């Protein structure tokens, strides 16, 4: 079970229509797909969520060739500093990059043993993983006209119920005039009936603006509000006035427990240092009375890892986020995962239970080379080739 070779390939996953959120808009997502090959000929898959990390994966791989797949702890110590900060390096980046490789280590180990990943994580407490249906204003795409008005968004949500039996909805606010968003949310509520409705402002508002916005939006029966403001302290201040639950992507568990707000932390595997780190973090959330869910935006590789962790961890309750319905491509065989009736079943094949489609991987990589990465501001370096690889010589 020793590591022989590691390959990393940056890819762009296109969306059917660019969606708007408080940071602007995006029509694609850049990720790095990791392929880890063992000396026994088994391949495990992983993913770095934060853009093109191929060169970083190749550098880190130099330290990991020859490691046993089961030595996750020693491998982490070889790649990630033990402190949370150093002025000479980027600990956060190392943690995220190692997490993509570590995901592939777990996948390869489970494939070697011929079992689904959730078996290595303690077994499944659930087989169907609840997910939200996302909505937002979306700009016109090549194959999708998007939504440009409150009525358009409400009709989209109604169509998701009719076509896919969607059960819970989460939508972006903080993107246009507040009065228009209040109309949008009210029309969505009318379209979805008593189904769960959650909102996400991505920290767009100041505390006074958030208080005003929430006062106008809460009559639509909002169950969860994600990041109406950016800080924990601001959300705790809002808690005094509003009964809904709050969530955030910012990871600070001790502060959440101390302030009693937010109610849940919503993040990904990379941010927590890998699958082992996620197991430990979710256990700490359970002990400290803070909820946990996954957010979306990864390829089918990391999405499958989310499903296995959600299956194995009882504390991951409620619907995690997903943008899967908006994907126009993916790197896995069968294309993007398709939720139905508000859930996805955890894959039951060996490892993550998904398989790379070589043609799709190349297509998504070539799209990255042509378009550059998201967020914009950098593109592939001159001479960039398909996949960065490091192997035992």
Question: Which pLDDT score, from 0 to 100, does residue 392 have?
Answer: 46
What fold characterizes domain 3-115+355-391?
Enolase-like; domain 1 (3.30.390)
From CA 195, how far away is CA 193, in angstroms rounded?
Answer: 6
Ordered strands of the 3-21 beta sheet: 43-48, 24-38, 3-21, 388-391
What's the whole-number mean pLDDT along residues 310-319? 96
The answer to whether residue 386 scores a pLDDT higher than 50 is no
Question: Which pLDDT score, from 0 to 100, does residue 88 have?
Answer: 81
What's the whole-number mean pLDDT along residues 102-124? 98
End-to-end CA distance of the chain: 17
Question: Which pLDDT score, from 0 to 100, does residue 247 have?
Answer: 98
Name the class of domain 120-345: alpha beta
Tell me if domain 3-115+355-391 and domain 120-345 are identical in fold: no
In tens, the pLDDT along 189-218 reads 999 999 999 999 999 999 999 999 999 999
The answer to whether residue 388 scores a pLDDT higher than 80 is no
The answer to whether residue 274 scores a pLDDT higher than 80 is yes
Count of Cβ atoms closer than 10 Å to residue 379 Cβ = 14
pTM over 0.85: yes
The answer to whether residue 387 scores a pLDDT higher than 80 is no
In tens, the pLDDT along 353-368 reads 999 999 999 999 999 9
In tens, the pLDDT along 4-40 reads 999 999 999 999 999 999 988 999 999 999 999 999 9
What's the whole-number mean pLDDT along residues 71-78? 95
Domain ranges of the chain: 3-115+355-391, 120-345
The answer to whether residue 160 scores a pLDDT higher than 50 is yes
The answer to whether residue 391 scores a pLDDT higher than 80 is no
Q: Which of 190, 18, 223, 9 is nearest to 104 (CA)?
A: 9
Q: Which of 159, 149, 161 is nearest to 196 (CA)?
A: 161
């Amino acid at each position: 079970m020793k590591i022989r070779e590691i390959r990393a390939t940056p890819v762009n996953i296109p969306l059917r229509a660019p969606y708007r959120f408080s940071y602007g808009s995006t029509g694609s997502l850049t990720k790095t797909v990791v392929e880890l090959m063992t000396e026994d000929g088994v391949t495990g898959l992983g993913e770095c969520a934060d853009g093109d990390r191929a060169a970083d994966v190749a550098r880190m791989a130099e330290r990991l060739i020859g490691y046993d797949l089961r030595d996750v702890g020693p491998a982490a110590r070889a790649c990630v500093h033990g402190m949370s900060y150093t002025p000479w390096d980027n600990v956060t980046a190392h943690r995220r990059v190692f997490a993509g490789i570590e995901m592939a280590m777990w996948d390869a180990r489970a494939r070697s043993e011929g079992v689904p990943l959730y078996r290595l994580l303690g077994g499944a407490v659930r087989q169907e993983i609840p997910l939200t249906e996302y909505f937002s204003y979306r700009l016109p795409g090549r194959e999708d006209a998007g939504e440009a008005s409150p009525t358009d968004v409400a009709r989209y949500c109604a169509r998701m119920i009719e076509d896919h039996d969607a059960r819970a909805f989460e939508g972006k606010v903080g993107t246009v005039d507040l009065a228009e968003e209040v109309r949008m949310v009210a029309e969505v509520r009318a379209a979805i009936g008593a189904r769960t409705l959650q909102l996400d402002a991505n920290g767009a508002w100041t505390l006074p603006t958030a208080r005003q916005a929430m006062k106008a939006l809460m009559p639509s029966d909002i169950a969860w509000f994600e990041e109406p403001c950016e800080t924990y302290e601001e959300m705790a201040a809002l808690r005094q006035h509003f009964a809904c639950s709050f969530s955030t992507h910012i990871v600070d568990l001790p502060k959440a427990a101390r302030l009693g707000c937010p109610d849940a932390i919503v993040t990904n595997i990379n941010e927590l240092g890998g699958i082992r780190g996620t197991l430990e973090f979710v256990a700490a959330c359970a002990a400290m009375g803070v909820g946990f869910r996954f957010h979306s935006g990864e390829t089918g590789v990391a999405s499958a890892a989310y499903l296995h962790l959600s299956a194995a961890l009882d504390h991951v309750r409620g619907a995690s986020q997903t943008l899967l319905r908006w994907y126009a491509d993916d790197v896995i065989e069968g294309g993007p995962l398709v939720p139905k009736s508000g859930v996805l079943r955890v894959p039951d094949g060996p490892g993550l239970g998904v398989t790379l489609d070589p043609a799709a991987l190349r297509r998504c990589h070539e799209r990255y080379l042509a378009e550059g990465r998201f967020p914009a501001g950098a593109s592939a370096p001159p001479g960039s080739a398909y996949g960065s690889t490091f192997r035992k010589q």
